[in-house]
């Protein structure tokens, strides 16, 4: 059972800059909780995501001596991957590959075919610098642009990723349109078809439907979940402003109710939760 805590996704869309000192303090606390991975920052253009312009400085001050959590940073191109390799101390790189051509162009200024070439380049960097690449299939449950979408399309993308040596794929519900039917169909078709791939769920949701989505993904075989404390973050293109990341505290409660062991230090989690109002 893996929980990936995503302060990066929670922070990146905020207009007001969160101080570097506040990020460091918060992420250091998250590293004490017991999450499998902390998605802590982005090595991308400061112009594109100004909130994350201090990621390298944050990384320098993270204390991992007593933490088993791994660190993940999002990159959008080969330059970002090379920067991560030069900096070091990063376990995973994440790259957003979209099932929607429109969103891929808007998000990374590349077509899907060009983005797949970038995935191959980043994978090569990861292979030679002891990192692993997590590929997010954004707009994985549908898109708002009218671009072609079918759940079977995800399988075609996964096939191409497997051919590039990718071993971790996270299905991302960018705009919060996943439901019991498409969550079940995607995970139950992909997991047995690609046993060498670790599939994750990066679900965005209205708070009222978050539990159903988590439970459905779990029962469909997913054992890797992205979340953010208090449900901060999400995608500005979602039609409902209440749609954000699945709240970590809700995810943990759901998993425990289903008999899973999230392996979380409850006391450290409570301390992190108390920090959220000041950080955000």
Average pLDDT over residues 213-230: 98
Q: Taking 60 as the threshold, does the pLDDT of residue 215 lie above it?
A: yes
Average pLDDT, the chain: 95
**pLDDT at 132 (0 to 100):** 98
Mean pLDDT along residues 255-266: 96
> Tens digits of per-residue pLDDT, 238-256?
455 667 899 999 999 999 9
Bigger pLDDT: 125 vs 236: 125
Q: What is the pLDDT of residue 279?
A: 97
Q: What's the pLDDT score for residue 235? A: 62
pLDDT at 158 over 60: yes
Structurally, the chain folds into a number of domains equal to: 1
The CATH number that applies at residue 151 is: 3.20.20.70
Task: Look up the domain containing 161 and give its range.
Answer: 2-279
Is residue 18 pLDDT above 60, yes or no?
A: yes
Cα–Cα dist 94/96, whole Å: 7
User: Other CB atoms closer than 10 Å to residue 246's CB: what's the count?
Assistant: 29
Q: Which residue has the higher pLDDT, 172 or 107?
A: 172
The predicted pLDDT at position 242 comes to 61
Looking at residue 233, what DSSP letter applies?
-
Comparing 18-22, 177-181, 234-238, the range with the smallest average pLDDT is: 234-238
Q: Give the gyration radius of the chain's Cα atoms.
A: 17
H helical segments located in 150-243: 151-163, 180-193, 210-219
> Sorting pLDDT into bands at 50, 70 and 90, what band is 234?
confident
Flag whether pLDDT at 237 surpasses 70. no
Buried b (16+ CB within 10 A) or exposed e, 68-82: ebbbbbbbbbeebbb
**Mean pLDDT confidence for 39-65:** 96
For the record, the structure tokens of 18 come out as 């969160």
User: pLDDT tens digits, residue range 58-92?
Assistant: 999 999 999 999 999 999 999 999 999 999 999 99
What are the distances in angstroms from CA 183 to CA 84, 102, 119, 173? 33, 23, 25, 10
244 versus 214: the higher-pLDDT residue is 214
Percent of the chain at pLDDT above 70?
97
Please tell me the predicted confidence (pLDDT) of residue 236: 54
Task: Give 213's pLDDT tier (boundaries 50, 70, 90).
Answer: very high
């Amino acid at each position: 059972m893996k929980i990936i805590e995503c302060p990066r996704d929670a922070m990146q869309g905020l207009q007001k800059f969160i101080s570097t000192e506040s990020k460091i303090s918060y992420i250091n606390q998250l590293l004490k909780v017991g999450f499998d991975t902390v998605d802590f920052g982005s090595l991308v253009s400061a112009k594109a995501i100004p909130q994350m312009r201090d990621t390298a400085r944050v990384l320098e001050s993270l204390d991992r001596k007593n933490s088993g959590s791994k660190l993940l940073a999002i990159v959008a191109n080969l330059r970002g991957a090379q920067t991560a390799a030069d900096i070091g101390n990063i376990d995973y790189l994440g790259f957003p590959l979209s099932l929607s051509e429109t969103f891929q162009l808007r998000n990374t200024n590349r077509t899907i075919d060009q983005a797949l070439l970038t995935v191959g380049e980043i994978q090569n960097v990861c292979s030679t610098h002891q990192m692993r690449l997590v590929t997010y299939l954004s707009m994985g449950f549908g898109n708002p642009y009218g671009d072609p979408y079918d759940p079977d399309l995800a399988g075609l993308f996964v096939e191409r990723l497997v051919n590039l040596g990718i071993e971790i794929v996270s299905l991302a519900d960018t705009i919060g349109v996943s439901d019991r039917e498409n969550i079940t169909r995607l995970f139950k078709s992909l997991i047995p078809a690609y046993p060498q791939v670790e599939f994750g769920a990066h679900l965005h949701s209205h708070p009222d439907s978050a539990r159903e989505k988590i439970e459905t993904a779990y029962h469909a075989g997913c054992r890797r979940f992205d979340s953010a404390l208090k449900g901060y973050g999400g995608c500005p293109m979602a039609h409902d402003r209440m749609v954000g990341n699945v709240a970590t505290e809700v995810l943990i409660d759901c998993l425990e109710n289903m008999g899973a062991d999230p392996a979380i230090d409850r006391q450290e989690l409570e301390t992190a939760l108390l920090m959220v109002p000041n950080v955000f």
